[in-house]
Amino acid sequence: MWDVLVSPFTEFQFMRAALVSVVFLALSAAPVGVFLVIRRMSLMGDALSHAVLPGAAAGYMLAGLSVPAMSLGGFVAGVVMAVLAGLVSRFTTLKEDASFAAFYLSSLALGVLMVSRGGNNVDLLNLLFGSILGIDTPSLALIACVTSVTVVALAIMYRPLVLESIDPLFLRAVGGKGSWWHLLFMLLVVLNLVAGFQALGTLMSVGLMMLPAISARLWSQRLGLILACSAFIALLCGYGGLLLSFYIEIPSGPAIILLCGLVYLLSVFLGKEGGLVAQWVRGRHKKA
C-alpha cells in the first residue's frame, strides 16, 4: 500500500512538484471559493476564469511560454473584465451576473481565436486544460507567492469580508467601506485563477476553487470549519487525481476535478447540513 500511495512522489520529481502545487492551490483557491459561495457569486468565478484566457493568450503571443508574461496578461484581462462588468451593471439595467456572462463568453471566444492564430492545438490545450505534471519552477514559485498573499489577505480581510458577505448594508452604515473590500476580494479571485491556470488551465482552475467549497458547505454551517473542510477536500482530490493520472494514464487536471465532482455528489447525498439523507431524517423526526 505504501508503494502505491507514496512511491510515485518519492521516485519522480515531476510528481512531487505537482503535489506541492496542489497543496498551495488547496490552501488558497478553495477558501476563496468558500467566500464566493456564501456571497452567491459562484458563477462569477467561472466567468473570471474564462476572462483570464485572452490575457494569457496575448502574453503567449508576445513572449511565448513565459510564465510572467502569461500571468501578467491573465491578471490584467481578469481585472479589466471585472471592472467592465461592474460598470455595465452600475450604469445600465443589467444585473452583474448577466454582464459577467456576456463578457466571459466573448473573452473565451477571443482567447481561443488568439491562441489558434498564434500557436497550435497543443498550446491551446495546455492553456485550456493545463499540464500539472509538467509544471516548472517559475510556475510553482508564482503559485506559492499567490498562496502566501491570499492567506495573509484573507486573515486581514476576514471580519469585514464576512460582514460584507452577510450584511453589506450594516457594514455601509458603520462606514466599513464595503465596496473596497469587495474590490480587494475580486482581485484575490483573479490572482488565484491566474495561479490555478498555470497548473490546471483556464477551464479547470475554477473547478478546484468552487467544487470543494460547495461540497464543504454541505457538511457544516460554521465558516471556520467550511474553510478548513474545503481546503482538505481540494488537497485530497488533488492527491487522488495525481495518483489516478500516474497509474491509469489519464490527464491529471480533469482527473482532479472529476474527483472533486464525485465528492460533491457524495456530499449532496450524505452532507450533514442540507444533504438529502440529513433532510430526510429531519423530516421523519418532525413527522414523529
Burial class (CB in 10 A: 0-12, 13-18, 19+), 94: middle
User: Considering the entire predicted model, what is its pTM?
Assistant: 0.87
The cell numbers describing 165, all together, are 458577505
Cell numbers given for 272: 450533514
DSSP single-letter state for residue 209: H
Residue 259, pLDDT score? 94
The 10s digit of each residue's pLDDT in 75-123 is: 888 888 888 877 787 777 777 667 777 877 788 788 778 777 765 555 5
Q: What domain range is 84 assigned to?
A: 2-287
CA–CA distance, 236 with 243 (Å, rounded to integer): 11
Residue 93's φ and ψ, nearest 5 degrees, are -90, 0
212: CB partners within 8 A, 6+ apart:
26, 30, 33, 229, 230, 231, 233, 234, 237, 260, 263
Residue 243's pLDDT is: 92
Low-confidence residues of the chain: pLDDT under 70: 96-97, 118-129, 167-178, 202-203, 285-288
Number of structural domains found in the chain:
1
Q: How is residue 188 written as a grid cell?
A: 484575490
Domain CATH number, residue 73: 1.10.3470.10
Helix (H, G, I), strand (E, B) or coil at 70: helix
The DSSP-derived string for 216-270 is: HHTT-S-HHHHHHHHHHHHHHHHHHHHHHHHHH---HHHHHHHHHHHHHHHHHHH
